[in-house]
Amino acid sequence: MTRPKVIVYNATSLDGRNTGFPVDLGLYYGLVSTWKEHATLAGSGTILKADAEEAPPESIDAIPADLPAEYAILPVSETDDERGILVVPDSRGRVKIWHFLRSQEYWRGVLSLCTESTPPDHIAYLEAFAIPYLIVGADKVDYPLALEELNTRFGVETIRVDSGGTLNGILISQGLVDEVSVLLHPTLAGGDKDASRLFIAPDGTGVDGAVDLELLSLEPLEGGIVWFRYGVV
């Protein structure tokens, strides 16, 4: 089985939060090119929070006139376009702004990860809008399978995870993450005990033992921010 190298990259506060404080977005996105990623894996929660305000939900009753026949995703080896593919696990079919996302310049293609439990009307929406999707899993997305499919079908060898603690936690707990990269901001974000953080163990009580990391590099950056890169042992 071949799977891509997976990097979890978050901006955090000194108290480990990944929301509730001002992130230096210029610095954050400026470092993304470090990994020369073939794909970005963004949680549906992250996509909905970041983009839903900008774009109204799309409907099968209002298909855009300028819709292409298909949004094919070429394998990495067959394109000179160095942008990555946006990949979103969305088993519940909550993301209804795919035409908008596809129109953004950040990605060369988009891909929805669905499962056998994804509502049929959502699959119909994806097909009507010619949005590529994969069925990978019965209920929730099966990440080992999804990562293997991304590698086999599209030649994805490096994938950066842009998500909150839920998806980060699942991937780390399943042993699928190679690097945890943190842009540590000199802030104590606080929040209540349930406030979002980089790693949320899927069972809510912690994984079986802590996840050990080894320091790969650390680099002080502007504004008191420090960039830590860790390998997962």
Ligand X SMILES: NC(=O)c1ccc[n+]([C@@H]2O[C@H](COP(=O)([O-])OP(=O)(O)OC[C@H]3O[C@@H](n4cnc5c(N)ncnc54)[C@H](OP(=O)(O)O)[C@@H]3O)[C@@H](O)[C@H]2O)c1
Footprint on this chain of ligand X (rule: CB under 6 A) = 10-11, 18-19, 23, 43-46, 49, 89-92, 94, 140-141, 162-167, 170, 196
Nearer to ligand X, 158 or 166 (CB): 166
Q: What is the largest CA-CA distance in the chain?
A: 54
Nearer to ligand X, 31 or 63 (CB): 31
At closest approach, how far in Å is the CB of 3 from ligand X?
A: 16
Q: Which residues contact 86 (CB under 8 A, 6 or more apart)?
A: 39, 40, 42, 101, 106, 107, 109, 110, 111
Nearer to ligand X, 87 or 156 (CB): 87
Nearer to ligand X, 79 or 166 (CB): 166
Nearer to ligand X, 76 or 163 (CB): 163
DSSP character at residue 57: P
At closest approach, how far in Å is the CB of 91 from ligand X?
A: 3
At closest approach, how far in Å is the CB of 165 from ligand X?
A: 5
Tokens for 224?
């008191």
Question: Rounded CA gap, 62 and 64, in Å?
Answer: 6
User: Which residue number places its CB atom closest to ligand X?
Assistant: 164
Instruction: Please identify which residue in the block is written with the tokens 């056998």.
Output: 116
DSSP character at residue 142: -
At closest approach, how far in Å is the CB of 56 from ligand X?
A: 20
Asked if 109 and 153 touch (Cβ cutoff 8 Å), the reply is no
| Parallel/antiparallel/unpaired status of strands 226-232 and 179-185 | antiparallel
At closest approach, how far in Å is the CB of 122 from ligand X?
A: 11
DSSP character at residue 62: S
